Amino acid sequence: MTAIPLNAEPPSARVIEVASQALDRVRSYLRNHPDGPQEVHIVVADSPHDELSVPREAVVLLARVLSHLAEGHGVAVLPMESELTSQQAADLLNVSRPFLIGLLDAGEIRYRMVGSHRRIELKSLMDYQRADDARTLRAANDLTALDEELGFI
């Protein structure tokens, strides 16, 4: 498997505007149909006879993509089986490359060597990020509890 190029360009002003409008509609649909069908039918505005069926999970993902676009951020969608270079993985975690290498060497994130280059599994990287976020939340909750116990709050 080869590393995936990540080159998501920032959206244009028009894309931001359209994404924002579409996001409102998609969020409204998801909010009004929380236990909706597993298959969602989308009608194309210019051609009402053209109907597209997509899995509900794709609509939820579409809402996330539209949210980022509406905020002016570029978006890249990758399959979980993708492999990233060490720099791409560091960028996704918002850490330095040397810090990421330390995580790899410590066995925190799975990777493989291709010649002298590391290829990081996206799934493993996301698993690490979720676990790290959970650790951070627990630490914040522990600090809040300690502050309350000591009367600082």
pLDDT at 34: 86
pLDDT at 5: 61
User: What ranges make up the beta strands (E) of 3-104?
Assistant: 39-44, 47-55, 83-84
Percent of the chain with pLDDT over 70: 95
- Give the Cα separation of 78 and 7 in Å (integer): 12
How high does pLDDT run on average in the chain? 92
Confidence grade of residue 66 (pLDDT, cut at 50, 70, 90): very high
Domain residue spans of the chain: 13-70, 83-149
Question: Scanning the structure block, which residue is given the tokens 């939340």?
Answer: 137
- Report the pLDDT averaged over residues 31-51: 84
- Give the Cα separation of 30 and 25 in Å (integer): 9
Confidence grade of residue 4 (pLDDT, cut at 50, 70, 90): low
pLDDT at 47: 82
Q: Parallel, antiparallel, or unpaired: how do β-strands 111-114 and 83-84 relate? A: unpaired
Higher-confidence residue of 131 and 78: namely 131
